[in-house]
A and B are shown apart, each in its own frame.
Chain A
Amino acid sequence: MKKLSIVSVLVLAVVAWSCNEDVRRTPGHVYMPDMAYSRAIETYAPIDTLAKQGIHYNRLPVAGTIKRGELLPFPLAKDKTGDTANYVQSTHIANPLPALDAVQMKEAERLYLVNCGICHGTALDGNGPLYKGGEGPFSAAPANLATGPKYVTMPDGQMFYSVTYGKGQMGSYASQLSTTQRWMVIHYIKSKQGGGKQAAAVAPATDSAAAKPAAAGAATAAKKPAADTTAKKK
C-alpha cells in the first residue's frame, strides 16, 4: 500500500513535469470544458462551418446602413481605375464637422498619431518612422502635409477622398477610422498647416520653407529637406 502511494506520486510528478514544454505550442487543458469554451459564437470563432449548420449569418451590415450618431457617408464613390473624375469632384465637398474644441482636437491628434504619423510623421512633414528620409522600409515618400504646397492648398473634401479610398501608395483608412474620425483628422491636419502655432515652436526651419509660395525656385526645393532632417534630429 505504501509502495503504491509512492509510485503513484512519482508517476504523477513525471506526468506533470513532462507537460512543461520548452516552447509552449499548446494552450493546455481545462477543468470544465463546457464552462471554458463558449457554445455561443464568440468573436474570432471559426465561422466557415456555420452555413453547413444552417446558420446564415451576414458579417456586414445592410448596404447603406449608417451607425447611430454618425455623419452621413461621403457622397462620392471610388473612381474606376484610370479615372479621376470623383477625385477632382471631391474638392467641392466641405468638412461637415464644425471646428473642434480642445478635447476633440486632442482626440483628433491621437487619431492622427496612431494612424497617420507612422508615415506622415508626428510633425506632418512626410517623414515618419516608416520612411525616415528614404532609409526606412517604406520606399515611397509620404506626402508632406505640413508644408507641401499641394497639400496646404488641398481642399478638405479631396483629403477625405484620399483617406477614404486611398491614393497612390496609400491605402484606404475607411476600415480603421470612422467617417467622423476621418473628418476630425482632416481638421487636425488643417489646423497644423500654414505654419500653425505648433509648427513655429517645433521647427522654425520648416516654417520658413512653408512661408515661401508654392512655385518657389529650385534653391528652396533643394534646401528644404536638409532643413527638415535637422529639425527632426533635434
Chain B
Amino acid sequence: MIDHRATVKRILISALFFLLLSVGNKLSAQDGKAIFQNNCASCHSVFKDLTGPALGGVTSRGPWTDHKKLYEWVHNPAKFMASDPYTQGLKAKFGGVVMSPFENLSEKEIDAVIDYVEKTAKAGPATPGPGQGTPGAGGAQVLDEKDNSILYGVLTLILAVVAFIMLQVNSNLKKLADDKDGLPAYETIPFYRNKSYITLLTLVLFVIGGFYIVKGAIGLGRSQNYQPEQPIFYSHKVHAGVNQINCLYCHGGAMEGKAANIPSVNICMNCHMTINEYTESAGKLYREDGTQVDGTAEIKKIYAAAGWDATKKAYTGETKEIQWTKIHNLPDHVFFSHAQHVNAGKVQCQTCHGEITKMDEVYQFADLSMGWCINCHRTTKVNFGGKSGEEGNKFYSIYEKFHDDLKSHKKAPGALGGDSVIVAPLRDSITVADIGGLECQKCHY
C-alpha cells in the first residue's frame, strides 16, 4: 500500500519535472555540475570518498550499470537498500550512514549529474598551475642579499689594502726624502711591530669584539628568531595565509585565557577528515634548510595522532600525543595574559607575532624583552570602545573619566599617587602607561 503511494508520488513528481523540463531546457554537463554542487557535493566528491563514496566511475560499479536502479536509489535509498546487498555493503563501509532521499531530482537531472561526474573523472583531478608559489624567486632574493654583503666586505677589504699600501708608499717616500735631506735614517721597523699599527689593530678588534660581546650578553635569555623544528610541518602560510583561516579558529584561548591554546587534534580533524592530501595549492613547501616537505605525509601524521583510519573512515581509539615545541617563552617571573591583550586591549596577533600568514615555519618575531613591552605600553592608546560599547569593549570604562579629564587638560590625577602637580599635556587619548601599564607589579609579582 505504502509502496503504491510512493510510486504514484514519484510518478507525479517526475511528470511535473518532465513538464518543467520540456519547456525547452536541455540539461548538459554544465547544469549537471550545478545540480551536483547543490545536492550531492556535501557528501560526495568525484575523486574522493567523503561521507559517501567517490562518484567517479559510478556507472561501472555494482547495480549502477543500470541507470533505472540509480534513479530508484536516489529517489528512495532506504527502500532500494532493503533488497540490495551491494548498497547494504556500502552502508557498512561508510559507518552506517545512508544517503538522504532526493525525490525532487528528475531522471534527466540525475543523468546530467552522472554526465558531469564521468566527464570530470575522465579529465582527472585538477592540479594547480605550475606558475603558483615559486619558492625559487624567494630563494634568489635571499641570495641577492647575501651577495651584496659579500660585495661590501670585498670592497672594504680592497680599500683597506689600498690604504695600507698608500701608508707604506708614504713612509717609503718620507724615508727617501729624509735620505735626500741627509737626515739620519732610523732603523726600519716592520709594520707588525709598528706601535701605531698595533694600537690601531687593537682598537679595531676591541670595538668589534666588544660589539659582539655586548650583543651576545644582551641576547642571553632572549630568543628572537627562534625557529624550532616542529613534530609536524604545519605551515601557517598555507592555513592562515592562503586558506584564510582566522587565527582564533585554532587559538581561541587567546580571547579567554593566559595562553593562546595550541589546538588539539580534533580541531585539525575538523578539516583534515576531508582534506587528506596537500595539492600544492600554495606551491611546494620547503623547510628552512631547503629540503622539500611532503604535505600529504604530514597530514598522515595528524591521522596517526588522532587515531583516524582514513580508509575505514573511523577512529581507532589509539591516539598519540603531538609534542609541539613552544616558541615564545617568557621567564617565569613575568606574567603575560593573552586575554588581556587580545580581548580587552584589541591588539592584533600580528603586532607581536609578525607576519604569521607568510611563515611556513614560525619563528619568534619579537624579542620579548622588557624594553619591547614597555615601549608598546607607552605608545599604545587605550581602546575605550565608544559610549554605546558597540565598537569596542567596556573593560576600561572605569578610566573613561580620566580620559575625559585628560582631554580637557585638567591636572593629571597623580600618576605617582596623590595630587600631582603635573599638568596633563595636550593630547586626545591616553596610553596603556597612563592606566598603570608601567607598574612593576602588573607583570612581576
Contacts and interface: CB of A to CB of B under 8 A. Distances in A.
Interface string B243-281: 111101100100000110010101101110111000101
A113 interface: yes
Nearest to A148: B38
A28 B220 contact: yes
A169 B42 contact: yes
B71 to A, nearest CB: 14
Contact of A25 (B48, B228, B329): B228
Interface string B13-26: 00001001100010
Interface stretch (B57-65, B89-97, B423-431): B89-97
B259 A44 contact: yes
A171 B209 CA distance: 57
B208 interface: yes
Interface in B340-378: 363
Contacts of A184: none
Contacts of B309: none
B229 interface: yes
Interface in A13-72: 13, 15-17, 19, 23-31, 35-39, 42-44, 46, 48
Contacts of A170: 270
Given A114-B248, A218-B25, A23 B289 contact: yes
A165 to B, nearest CB: 12
A43 B216 contact: no
Interface range on chain A (Cβ under 8 Å from partner): 35 or more
Given A140-B51, A175-B267, A12 B289 contact: no
Interface string A112-123: 011101110000
A137 B331 contact: no
Nearest to B214: A16
B326 A225 contact: no
Given A23-B227, A169-B42, A218 B17 contact: yes
A119 to B, nearest CB: 8
B301 interface: no
A28 B219 contact: yes
Contacts of A117: 246
Given A44-B262, A137-B279, A218 B205 contact: no
A224 B390 contact: no
A15 B390 CA distance: 55
B332 to A, nearest CB: 4
Given A13-B212, A219-B25, A225-B34, A25 B229 contact: yes
B210 interface: yes
Interface of A is mostly: loop
Nearest to A47: B321
A194 interface: no
A136 interface: yes
Interface stretch (A89-97, A126-134, A200-208): A126-134
B39 interface: yes
Given A31-B221, A169-B43, A169-B50, A218 B106 contact: yes
A104 B417 CA distance: 38
Contacts of A114: 246, 248-249, 252
B407 interface: no
Interface in A197-234: 215, 217-219, 221-226
Nearest to A226: B34
Contact of A141 (B37, B208, B390): B37
A226 B37 CA distance: 11
A82 B91 contact: yes
A80 B52 CA distance: 18
A102 interface: yes
Contact of A82 (B27, B95, B243, B363): B95
A9 interface: yes
Interface of B: 17, 20-21, 25, 27, 31, 34-35, 37-39, 41-43, 45, 47-48, 50-51, 91, 95-97, 104, 106, 108-109, 126, 202, 205-206, 208-210, 212-213, 215-216, 219-223, 225-229, 243-246, 248-249, 252, 258-259, 262, 264, 266-267, 269-271, 273-275, 279, 281, 288-289, 321, 323, 326, 329, 331-333, 363, 389-390
The 7 closest A-B pairs by CB, nearest first: A82-B96, A141-B41, A16-B216, A13-B209, A171-B270, A38-B332, A36-B331
Given A16-B213, A217-B20, A218-B21, 6 more contacts: A13-B213, A25-B227, A102-B390, A118-B243, A175-B266, A221-B38
